[in-house]
Structure 1
Amino acid sequence: MTSSTTVTVLRYAAFTSHPGGGNPAGVVLDAAPLDEEQMLAIAAEVGYSETAFLTSRDEQRRRFTLRYFSPLAEVAFCGHATVAAAVALAGRIGPGDLVFDTPAGEIGVETVADGQGAVRATLTSVPTRSRPASAAEVGAALSALRWDAADLDPALPPHVAFAGNEHLVLAAGSRARLADLNYDFAALTGVMETYGWTTVHLVWRESDDRFHARDPFPVGGVTEDPATGAAAAAFGGYLRTLGLAPAAGAITIRQGEDMGRPSELRVEVSPHDARMRVTGHAVPIAE
């Protein structure tokens, strides 16, 4: 069993209500017989930034073990593949609460039918944390991105933020800077491998509760993610650490627009809890 032709791989677009938007994810609902090598081979054949594999299941308790593979390696946590897997499960066992045991820790997900034939999922992340990025980290990333320090928004300082994986957060000073992404793939891969980052989370602040984002993911063999739930959760923790979360407690992140796959992620930021709640839809992608 070495290819996706021998197992059923479902394909979903996450953080969108339209198959042409969002971030595509593969979902294998019965992956118990697969070993790591087989799962990696399937993820590489599928070719999406991540494929989620349910390796054990307890449908009575609605508790499942979930692993994530990019085309190149296993990833501790992936938000969009979690949403895709949750919506796929809701279609088979009904909407409701789910629990996923992941390499990053326990992830709870609420699934709700929205009344229009779609299912909305809200994941609760592991506890987040965020720290200032060092000058060496920022300098190496800017060089690989072909950005200058003057391109950054001084009101949103560079941080390394965590919500199951670590992400470098860099805020662009303008929407035009964010839109013009032409980075050195090999160089950024090397920087990210050196520091252990899963993505570089590039953001631009439109308002206190609305952001635009792009997430280079060369360490996964993918130029860019069109929707990144793990990075969105980490970014919510970043805002919480800096005291920049809006009074209403929720932000909207628009992502994928510059790739032609528009996505929308809602992040709830609580001053009393380091865990973030990230919400979005997922819809099947036709074969």
Structure 2
Amino acid sequence: MDILRYVAFSTDPHGGNPAGVVLDAAGIDEATMAATAAEVGYSETAFAVPRADGTLDIRYFSPQIEVPFCGHATIATAVAHAHRHGVGDLLLRTKAGPVPVTTSTLPDGTVVATLVSVEPRDEEIAEDDLAELLAALGWSADDLDPALPPRAAYGGAWHPVIAAATRERLAELDYDMAALGELMARRDWATVALVHRESETVFHARNPFPPGGVFEDPATGAAAAAFGGYLRSHGLVDLPATLTIHQGVDMGRPSLLTVGVPAQRSSGIQVTGTAVPIG
């Protein structure tokens, strides 16, 4: 098994979100994928199986669970594929549905990738679940930004969106990992999208990922896609929009995610980022 290691959403191997990438996982069973992801230890490892039509079947494993879709590992896989086969269009067949990705080369030689999510949607968070979620985070209702109401948002995986009223509240992340992980497992939530709005189109984000055995994700493309759909669904951004999301700063792994939100409500959300090999 040829396991590649890439950082997504950064051009610095010491920033961004690390992902394992296996470009040809043909013949590897699920148990081996899960064990390999646990051994690699990154928040996600992607296992791709090339098909005769040029598309890739792909699965994503954290150290503890499989998730239906992972944005940063998709960006890492697309860039790794481009390094080996050249830039262009690629279709990934995920458990959440087909995800097209386009790669191109910047003037400095860095490869950048743009994925288009499955159709996003969102739903209310039950009052009891929200209270349990805030208690696990150690947050109160006064910590929330009333302009961005809590919702569970989907762009290939489910993420509760919780908006902090201040950047200082977002910076202070110290939560009950066991309690939050148990709630998230019950509700099939992948990560919690904690966000703070700096300006109309600039956001800061942090993403606890206890179901996967990860205290915090440095860059979460799936949550960024879900968040873009949430903003569009509730008229919280002028359309079409290009959002900038800063993530990983508070944990020393700065990441930059660019999110394109088309005006058409049924369209997938575009998430763009760079990726570079580690070591």
Superposition TM-score, scaled by structure 1 size: 0.95
How far has the Cα of 1:117 moved from its partner?
A: 1.5
Paired position in structure 1 for 2:20: 26
* Preserved CA contact (<8 Å) 2:262 2:269: yes
The CA distance in 2 between the partners of 1:246 and 1:17, in whole Å, is 30
Paired position in structure 2 for 1:212: 204
Q: 1:38 to 1:99 in 2, by over 3 A?
A: same
How far has the Cα of 1:62 moved from its partner?
A: 3.3
Paired position in structure 1 for 2:7: 13
Whether 1:122 aligns to 2:114 is yes
* Preserved CA contact (<8 Å) 1:62 1:97: no
Paired position in structure 1 for 2:167: 175
* Preserved CA contact (<8 Å) 2:9 2:274: yes
The CA distance in 2 between the partners of 1:46 and 1:165, in whole Å, is 22
Which amino acid is the alignment partner of residue 274 of structure 1? S
Aligned-CA RMSD value: 1.0
**1:244 maps to which of 210, 217, 236:** 236
Tell me the matched-pair count.
Answer: 278
Paired position in structure 2 for 1:229: 221
* Preserved CA contact (<8 Å) 2:69 2:222: yes
**1:39 maps to which of 33, 45, 54:** 33
The CA distance in 1 between the partners of 2:106 and 2:260, in whole Å, is 19
The CA distance in 1 between the partners of 2:140 and 2:30, in whole Å, is 40
Whether 1:284 aligns to 2:273 is no
Gaps of 5+ in 1: 1-6
How far has the Cα of 1:57 moved from its partner?
A: 3.1
Whether 1:63 aligns to 2:55 is yes
* Preserved CA contact (<8 Å) 2:69 2:156: yes
Which amino acid is the alignment partner of residue 133 of structure 2? A
Paired position in structure 2 for 1:3: none
Give deviations 1:119-174, integer Å, cap 9, x for gaps.
00000000000122221121010000011111000110000000111100000010
The CA distance in 2 between the partners of 1:268 and 1:98, in whole Å, is 18
Paired position in structure 2 for 1:110: 102
Sequence identity, in percent? 56
**1:258 maps to which of 233, 244, 250:** 250
Give deviations 1:68-119, integer Å, cap 9, x for gaps.
0001111100000000000000011100000000111000000001121110
Which amino acid is the alignment partner of residue 21 of structure 2? V
The CA distance in 1 between the partners of 2:201 and 2:126, in whole Å, is 27
Whether 1:94 aligns to 2:86 is yes
* Preserved CA contact (<8 Å) 1:15 1:23: yes
Give deviations 1:200-248, integer Å, cap 9, x for gaps.
0000000010000000000001001000000000000000111112345
Tell me the secondary structure at the aligned position of residue 258 of structure 1: helix
Which amino acid is the alignment partner of residue 282 of structure 1? A
Superposition TM-score, scaled by structure 2 size: 0.98
Tell me the secondary structure at the aligned position of residue 177 of structure 1: helix
The CA distance in 1 between the partners of 2:248 and 2:147, in whole Å, is 24
* Preserved CA contact (<8 Å) 2:239 2:262: no
Gaps of 5+ in 2: none
The CA distance in 2 between the partners of 1:235 and 1:247, in whole Å, is 14
Paired position in structure 2 for 1:4: none
* Preserved CA contact (<8 Å) 2:70 2:220: yes
Paired position in structure 1 for 2:191: 199
**1:185 maps to which of 177, 183, 197:** 177
Structure 1 segment 74-89 matched on structure 2, within 5 A? 74-89=66-81
The CA distance in 1 between the partners of 2:14 and 2:77, in whole Å, is 18
* Preserved CA contact (<8 Å) 2:101 2:114: yes
